[in-house]
Each structure stands twice: as structure tokens, then as C-alpha cells.
């Protein structure tokens, strides 16, 4: 698990390899110095219990003799040969101070370097995920909650990197500590070391066992908590039904059954959880007593100094910490790798709509042809566009009308390749649109929809979005033609007013006119209006209509409208229903078909009075 994580993330760490190595070296040094300084205990104890230079004579050999020599270095003898206690303590103090100072300097250097690596990797990873997201097709976004995707970019990236850096720190640093203490223990007494390790392993195993049990129990408890919530939620949101059927008591009973289960669950967990610590401690104490018993015997027999015994016991306690840290790493890694899986899923995703290689020409001389096009959204089996044939001629204004859900938006989404047809093909300039690369293909289209997004930027830049090198003059012209110039000038900072989430609020009609200005500035050969005039008051609608007329000159246009009054001068009107074109013709032609869908829609709208807007 760990290995896989590292290998996948390695490319993101590449620029920081040097820093990582340096950090690791400092990490090793810091842990080494930080554990070696415990050796100061040897001379301290020796002085305090007055063991002084009573080395055990010839009985200590090898490493132990070396340790003894090291300890003796700190012991200063007065002129009479007795121990100069102040002098010795001073030496020890210098040693302790020096080693701690060094340890902390190393620790700082290592931690800082690792922090740099971590933030750098976060940045690379975040950039890569965002870049990947930008290449993915619309369906990817629609299939997921936006909160989920945002959480990938924030929480998951953070989690992966902090897991990674802390695991590197732990895996490199802790074994050093472990090795230093273990070496000390082995030098002092091999037998005692083996017994200690055995007990340590046993206690570790025990902790693990308890922990997995607790984890499964906690998991179950979480479910129980969910059950409680869902009963409560049902009653709260369905309070009217509950009361009208007189079911209050029944609901309370249901709730109590769930809380009872939860109560039992918490009790069971507490039983195990609270047992862990005492059991562990008793085991440790038993081990401690065993070592003390055995070691004490060695001391009394003159095989070992008291200082060695004390150091051994302290080293044993210290030894457990790195072991525990490494074993705790598992839990963190578990979280980190779950986050990493989420990120890899994005990085491995393939866009469902892939670009071709041809450049699309801006000159549209041939009709756009929908050739037996069908399409269904991934989540449903029914076709949103169903075996549809349609030709859109150069420079004509084609209106697309039909009931809600007929597939109008889907049809134009297919044309700009937000999706690809499930079967059939769409031809443009004599080629399948799948042959074209995205940039030149999408440059052909200007799209104005009801839900125009304004970015958090000035109005000026919002109009120039996608056309960053337009001159201010051109932008003004576009805004004027879109009937937007006047209302923009009335805003607090005119064209420099900030729009978007944290900027000024624009009305639906104003936003649409900004969108029209945007499209005008882009000057595309093909225009698409989707619902451009729905939900507007009469005056806004007139202004928008006027703006649209300005935009239509010498262009091919597809205009989707709910209000039939607004599209009467379209060259042709296509009536869509259930994914198919069911009628086609001019307004008058369609209206003369008394049993047609267009006639029906038109009559309903006239009767409902929605047709209050005079045609422009
Ligand atoms: N992202 C989506 N996922 C699944 N189904 C969808 C999705 N978008 C639209 N649909 C379904 O596809 C069908 C056609 O939808 P579409 O939005 O093209 O209709 P429309 O003609 O534009 O309707 P309206 O006039 O209300 O805008 C509908 O049945 C709709 O429920
Ligand atoms: Mg629609």
C-alpha cells in the first residue's frame, strides 16, 4: 500500500528530491543525537550513587567497556583522587545542553525542509488534478457533486501530502532511535534485551488486537448512530403525516429501540477500550519487574554497574516509543491512501469527448448536418435525442421549439461537442465534427444561455472573457450593440465594477446582455441561443431581443425559445418532441397545420397571455 502510494506520487516529488534527501539526513542526525544524549544518565547515576570509577575491572569487555569509558569521561577527580562532584556535573550539563541544542537545530532544519517539500508537492498535485479536471467532459462534472470535487482539491491533497511527509519522517527517524537504544541495551546485557523485546512484542500485539476490535465496533456504532438520525429525520420532515395519523407514540417507540441499540453498543466498546490501558500497563510492569529482578541480581553479583541497569531500564521505556509511532503510522496511511485513491481516480479518468486533429475553418459554406443522431445520458437509457436528421443552412436563423425535456438543449450541446452522439454523426464543413480539434471548433460557436456565469472580475474583463486582446473600443461597441452599455455606465465603477460571486448582482436580463456582448465580441460564425428570453420582464426582453437581432446579421443561428412570439421571423422553425424533429417550416406554415404540435403550443401560449410581448 505504502509502496504503491510512493511510486505514484514520486513524479510530483521530483523537483524536491534534493530537499527531501537533505531533510532526511537532518532527520537522521536529529534522532541520533536526540537518543544518544540519554547516555548522560550513565555518569549521572554513577555520581549520585557514588559508583565513581569503580569500573567492574576485567569483567566488562567489548562494548560495555567502551560505554564505561565514555561514562568515565565525565567524571572529574579532585587532587585527593575523590570525585569532584561539581566539576563532573558541569561536564554532564555541557554535554546535555550541547546535544539538545544540536538535536533541535537538526530537527528544525529537517522539519522545515520537509514542510517545503510538502507544500511544493501539494501544489504540484493540486495543479495536476485541476488541469486534469479541466480536460474532462461535461458528463464527468454532472455525475458528481461539486462539493466532492472541491474536497478532492483541498482535503484529499492535504491528507495525501501530510501522510506522505509524516510517514517519511517517521520511517526514517524512528528506526534510528530504535537502533540507538537497542544497541545500548544489547551492549549492556543480551539476555535482558531478548526478554524485554519479547514482552514488548507481546504488548504491541495486544494493543493491535484491541485496536482492530474497537475499530470494527466503532464502525458498527456509527451505523447505529445513522439509524437514530434517520428515524429522527423522518419524524421531523414528516411531522405533518405523523401527527395526522396519530403516530407520535409509534415514532417514539421506534426511536427508543434505536437508542437502546446505540446504548448497548457504546457500553460494549467502553468495556474493551478501557481494558486496553490497564492490561498493557500490567504487562509492562510485569516485564519491568522481571528485568529489575534479573538485572538487580547481575548488579549484586558484580556483573553490571547500577548505572548500567538504570540506563537499560530507561532505554527500554524509550525503545517503545518509536515502535509505537511506526505502528501508529498504519492508521494514518490508511486515511492517506484513501485520499490518494480519490486523486488517482481523477488523474486516471479519461475525457469521454476526445478532440480530433483537424483545424475547423471559420467559413461556413456547407450546411451543418445531423445525420441519424441519437444520444442518451449515461444515467438513463431513454434517448434524449432520437434518430434525428436535421440540416442547418449557412446564414439561416433556425428556431428550435418544443415542450420542456424535448431535447433542445441536448441537441445544441451535441453540436458544440459537450457530448458525442451515441450513434449517428454531425457533419460540419463536410467532415464529422469529431475530426476537429477543440479550439478551432469551439471558436466557431457563440453560446448565450439563461444561466450566464459571470466571473469574479470586472465587467470589462467579463465581456472580454475568451477574447483577452480585444481593445476597449471593441468592448464598448459590443456592449452597445448588446444594449448593455447604458446600464453598465450606471454601475458604481462603470466597466471596472466587479461582478461575479463577490461583486455586484446583475439581473437575469442584464447578465444575458453581458453574455450577448461576450458573444458579439467573439464574433463567431455560428450562434446559439438557449432560452435566451425566458423569465424576463417585458422591457428587458425587448432590450435582449433587440440585442439578439444585432447579433444575427450574416450568421448561422440556432435559437431555442419557449415563447413562440419571439421567433416568428426565424427562417425556419423546427418543432422538437421526445428527441425528434416533428414539424418544420415557417411560422405561418406551421400555424396552418391545425392538428400540429406548434399550433397547439401557440394556442396555449396565446390563451395564457404569455404572448404579451409584441414581436420585434
Ligand atoms: N445531465 C443530464 N443527465 C441525465 N439526463 C438529462 C441531463 N440533462 C437532460 N437530461 C434529460 O434529457 C432530456 C432532454 O433534456 P434537455 O435539457 O435537452 O431538454 P430541453 O428541450 O432543453 O428542455 P427545456 O425546454 O426544459 O430546457 C430530458 O428528459 C432530461 O430529463
Ligand atoms: Mg433546455
| The pLDDT value given to residue 535 | 56
Ligand nearest to the CA of 375: 1
- Half-sphere exposure of 291 toward its Cβ, with a 13 Å CA cutoff? 30
Helix then strand then coil, in percent of the chain rounded to 5, is 65, 10, 25
Cell of 106: 537538526
Cell of 296: 538487580
| The pLDDT value given to residue 533 | 55
CA 50 to chain CA centroid, nearest Å: 62
Average pLDDT rounded to a whole number, residues 95-107:
96
| The pLDDT value given to residue 610 | 47
pLDDT in tens, 10-51: 888 889 999 999 999 999 999 999 999 999 988 888 888 776
Residue 323 has pLDDT above 60, yes or no: yes
| The pLDDT value given to residue 346 | 93
| The pLDDT value given to residue 212 | 87
| The pLDDT value given to residue 611 | 43
Nearest Cα neighbor of 211 from 311, 284, 279, 286 is 279
Distance CA 428, CA 432 (A): 6
pLDDT in tens, 506-518: 887 888 888 888 8
Cell of 430: 463536410
- Per-position DSSP letters for 580-598, written without gaps between them: EEEEEE-HHHHHH-TTSHH
3-state DSSP call for residue 172? Answer: helix
Q: What is the 3-state secondary structure (H, E, C) of 227-238?
A: HHHHHHHHHHHC
CA 413 to chain CA centroid, nearest Å: 28
Average pLDDT rounded to a whole number, residues 195-207:
86
pLDDT in tens, 177-197: 999 999 999 999 898 999 888
In this structure, the residue with its CA closest to atom 14 of ligand 1 is: 407
Residue 450 has pLDDT above 80, yes or no: no
| The pLDDT value given to residue 612 | 45
More confident of the two residues 2 and 466 = 466
Q: Predicted confidence band at 321 (pLDDT cuts at 50, 70, 90)?
A: confident
- Per-position DSSP letters for 356-401, written without gaps between them: -SBPPPS---S-EEEEEEEE--TT-SS-SEEEEEEEE-TT-EEEEE
% residues pLDDT > 90 (the chain): 40
| Residue 8 near residue 340, CB atoms below 8 Å | yes
pLDDT in tens, 210-248: 888 888 898 898 889 988 998 898 889 888 888 998 899
Surface-to-core class of residue 433, CB atoms within 10 Å of its CB (0-12 exposed, 13-18 middle, 19+ buried): buried
Q: What is the pTM of this model?
A: 0.78
From the alpha carbon of 408, which atom of ligand 1 is closest? 21
For the chain, give the longest Cα–Cα distance: 129
More confident of the two residues 2 and 493 = 493
Give a yes or no: residue 463 inside a domain. Answer: no
For residue 410, report the distance from its CA to the centre of ligand 2, in Å: 7
pLDDT in tens, 466-483: 788 889 999 998 898 888
Residue 130 has pLDDT above 50, yes or no: yes
Distance CA 380, CA 50 (A): 86
Nearest Cα neighbor of 331 from 218, 225, 173, 176 is 218
From the alpha carbon of 411, which atom of ligand 1 is closest? 18
Residue 58 has pLDDT above 60, yes or no: no
Task: Give every strand in the sheet of 431-432, ordered side by side.
Answer: 385-392, 368-375, 423-428, 431-432
pLDDT in tens, 531-556: 755 556 667 677 777 777 777 777 89
| Residue 410 near residue 384, CB atoms below 8 Å | yes
Give a yes or no: residue 335 inside a domain. Answer: yes
For residue 336, report the distance from its CA to the centre of ligand 2, in Å: 41
3-state DSSP call for residue 136? Answer: coil
Residue 54 has pLDDT above 70, yes or no: no
Q: Predicted confidence band at 614 (pLDDT cuts at 50, 70, 90)?
A: very low
| Residue 454 near residue 534, CB atoms below 8 Å | no
If one residue of 377, 414, 419, 605 were mutated to test the ligand 1 pocket, choosing by the most ligand atoms within 8 A of its CB, it would be: 377
Give a yes or no: residue 442 inside a domain. Answer: no
For residue 542, report the distance from its CA to the centre of ligand 1, in Å: 27
3-state DSSP call for residue 428? Answer: strand
| The pLDDT value given to residue 568 | 81
Ligand nearest to the CA of 529: 2
Q: Predicted confidence band at 126 (pLDDT cuts at 50, 70, 90)?
A: very high
Q: What is the 3-state secondary structure (H, E, C) of 440-456?
A: HHHCCEEEEECCCCCCC
Cell of 108: 528544525
Q: Predicted confidence band at 613 (pLDDT cuts at 50, 70, 90)?
A: very low
In this structure, the residue with its CA closest to atom 17 of ligand 1 is: 409
Give a yes or no: residue 177 inside a domain. Answer: yes
Q: Which of 159-173, 183-197, 489-503 has the lowest mean pLDDT?
A: 489-503
Distance CA 291, CA 322 (A): 20
Residue 425 has pLDDT above 80, yes or no: yes
From the alpha carbon of 413, which atom of ligand 1 is closest? 18
| Residue 359 near residue 441, CB atoms below 8 Å | no
Report, in angstroms and rounded to the nearest whole number, the Rg of the chain calculated over CA atoms.
39
Residues of the domain holding 142: 1-188+325-352
Report the phi/psi class of residue 615: left, alpha or beta, with left for phi > 0 and alpha for psi in -120 to 50. Answer: beta
Give a yes or no: residue 276 inside a domain. Answer: no
Ligand nearest to the CA of 561: 1
In the block, which residue shows the cell 523485546?
A: 197
Residue 68 has pLDDT above 90, yes or no: no
In this structure, the residue with its CA closest to atom 28 of ligand 1 is: 405
- Half-sphere exposure of 395 toward its Cβ, with a 13 Å CA cutoff? 4
More confident of the two residues 128 and 333 = 128
pLDDT in tens, 546-603: 777 777 777 899 999 877 877 888 899 999 999 999 999 988 888 888 888 988 888 8
| The pLDDT value given to residue 266 | 94
For residue 384, report the distance from its CA to the centre of ligand 2, in Å: 11
Average pLDDT rounded to a whole number, residues 147-155:
87
Pocket of ligand 1 (CB under 6 A): 142, 377, 379-380, 384, 402, 404-410
Give a yes or no: residue 89 inside a domain. Answer: yes
% residues pLDDT > 70 (the chain): 94
Ligand nearest to the CA of 388: 1
| The pLDDT value given to residue 615 | 36
Give a yes or no: residue 576 inside a domain. Answer: no
Q: Element (H or E) spanning 40, and its range?
A: none
Q: Chain-wide mean pLDDT for the chain? A: 87
Give the CA-trace dihedral at 269, 270, 275, 276, to 10 degrees: 60
Distance CA 514, CA 451 (A): 11
More confident of the two residues 398 and 562 = 398
CATH of the domain at 163: 1.20.1560.10
For residue 562, report the distance from its CA to the centre of ligand 1, in Å: 14
Other CB atoms within 10 A of residue 322 CB? 22
| Residue 528 near residue 539, CB atoms below 8 Å | no
3-state DSSP call for residue 424? Answer: strand
Residues paired with 584 in a beta bridge: 574
Number of domains into which the chain is organized: 1
| Residue 114 near residue 168, CB atoms below 8 Å | yes
Give a yes or no: residue 366 inside a domain. Answer: no
Amino acid at each position: 500500500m505504502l509502496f504503491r502510494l510512493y511510486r505514484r506520487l514520486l513524479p510530483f516529488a521530483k523537483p524536491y528530491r534534493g530537499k527531501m534527501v537533505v531533510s532526511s539526513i537532518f532527520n537522521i542526525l536529529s534522532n541520533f543525537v536526540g537518543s544518544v544524549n540519554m547516555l548522560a544518565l550513565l555518569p549521572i547515576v554513577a555520581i549520585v550513587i557514588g559508583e565513581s570509577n569503580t569500573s567492574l575491572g576485567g569483567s566488562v569487555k567489548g562494548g560495555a567497556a567502551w560505554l564505561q569509558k565514555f561514562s568515565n569521561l565525565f567524571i572529574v577527580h579532585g587532587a585527593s583522587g575523590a570525585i569532584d562532584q561539581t566539576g563532573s556535573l558541569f561536564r554532564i550539563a555541557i554535554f546535555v545542553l550541547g546535544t539538545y541544542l544540536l538535536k533541535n537545530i537538526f530537527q528544525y532544519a529537517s522539519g522545515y525542509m520537509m514542510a517545503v517539500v510538502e507544500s511544493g508537492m501539494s501544489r504540484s498535485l493540486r495543479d495536476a488534478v485541476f488541469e486534469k479536471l479541466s480536460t474532462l467532459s461535461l458528463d464527468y462534472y454532472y455525475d458528481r457533486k461539486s462539493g466532492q470535487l472541491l474536497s478532492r482539491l483541498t482535503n484529499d491533497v492535504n491528507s495525501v501530502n501530510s501522510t506522505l511527509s509524516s510517514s517519511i519522517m517517521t520511517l526514517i527517524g524512528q528506526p534510528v532511535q530504535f537502533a540507538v537504544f537497542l544497541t545500548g541495551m544489547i551492549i549492556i546485557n543480551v539476555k535482558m534485551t531478548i526478554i524485554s523485546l519479547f514482552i514488548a512484542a507481546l504488548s504491541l500485539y495486544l494493543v493491535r488486537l484491541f485496536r482492530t476490535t474497537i475499530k470494527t465496533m466503532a464502525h458498527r456504532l456509527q451505523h447505529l448512530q445513522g439509524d437514530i438520525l434517520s428515524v429522527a429525520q423522518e419524524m421531523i420532515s414528516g411531522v405533518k403525516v405523523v401527527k395526522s395519523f396519530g403516530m407520535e407514540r409509534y415514532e417514539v417507540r421506534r426511536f427508543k429501540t434505536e437508542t437502546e441499540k446505540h446504548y448497548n453498543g457504546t457500553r460494549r466498546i467502553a468495556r474493551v477500550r478501557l481494558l486496553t490501558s490497564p492490561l498493557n500497563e500490567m504487562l509492562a510492569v510485569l516485564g519491568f519487574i522481571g528485568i529489575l529482578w534479573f538485572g538487580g541480581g547481575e548488579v549484586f553479583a558484580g556483573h553490571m554497574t547500577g548505572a548500567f541497569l538504570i540506563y537499560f531500564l530507561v532505554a527500554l521505556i524509550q525503545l517503545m516509543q518509536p515502535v509505537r509511532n511506526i505502528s501508529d503510522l498504519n492508521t494514518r496511511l490508511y486515511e492517506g491512501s484513501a485520499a490518494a485513491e480519490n486523486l488517482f481516480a481523477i488523474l486516471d479518468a479519461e475525457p469521454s469527448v476526445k478532440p480530433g486533429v483537424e483545424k475547423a475553418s471559420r467559413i461556413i459554406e456547407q450546411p451543418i448536418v445531423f445525420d441519424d443522431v441519437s444520444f442518451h445520458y449515461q444515467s438513463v437509457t431513454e434517448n434524449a435525442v432520437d434518430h434525428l436528421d436535421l440540416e442547418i443552412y449557412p446564414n439561416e436563423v433556425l428556431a428550435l421549439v418544443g415542450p420542456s425535456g424535448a431535447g433542445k438543449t441536448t441537441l445544441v450541446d451535441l453540436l458544440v461537442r459537450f457530448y458525442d452522439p451515441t450513434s449517428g454523426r454531425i457533419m460540419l464543413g463536410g467532415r464529422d465534427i469529431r475530426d476537429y480539434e477543440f479550439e478551432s471548433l469551439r471558436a466557431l460557436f457563440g453560446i448565450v444561455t439563461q444561466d450566464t456565469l459571470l466571473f469574479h472580475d470586472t465587467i470589462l474583463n467579463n465581456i472580454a472573457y475568451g477574447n483577452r486582446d480585444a481593445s476597449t473600443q471593441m468592448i464598448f461597441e459590443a456592449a452597445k450593440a448588446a444594449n448593455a452599455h447604458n446600464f453598465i455606465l450606471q454601475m458604481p465603477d462603470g466597466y471596472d465594477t466587479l461582478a461575479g460571486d463577490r461583486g455586484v448582482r446583475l439581473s437575469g436580463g442584464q447578465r444575458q446582455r453581458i453574455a450577448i456582448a461576450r458573444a458579439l465580441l467573439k464574433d463567431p460564425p455560428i450562434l446559439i441561443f438557449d432560452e435566451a428570453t425566458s423569465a424576463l420582464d417585458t422591457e428587458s426582453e425587448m432590450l435582449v431581443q433587440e440585442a439578439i437581432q444585432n447579433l444575427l446579421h450574416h450568421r448561422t443561428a440556432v435559437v431555442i425559445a419557449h415563447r413562440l412570439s419571439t421567433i416568428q421571423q426565424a427562417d425556419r422553425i423546427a418543432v422538437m418532441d421526445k428527441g425528434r424533429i416533428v414539424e418544420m417550416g415557417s411560422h405561418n406554415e406551421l400555424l396552418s397545420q391545425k392538428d400540429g404540435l406548434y399550433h397547439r403550443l401557440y394556442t396555449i401560449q396565446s390563451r395564457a397571455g404569455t404572448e404579451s410581448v409584441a414581436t420585434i
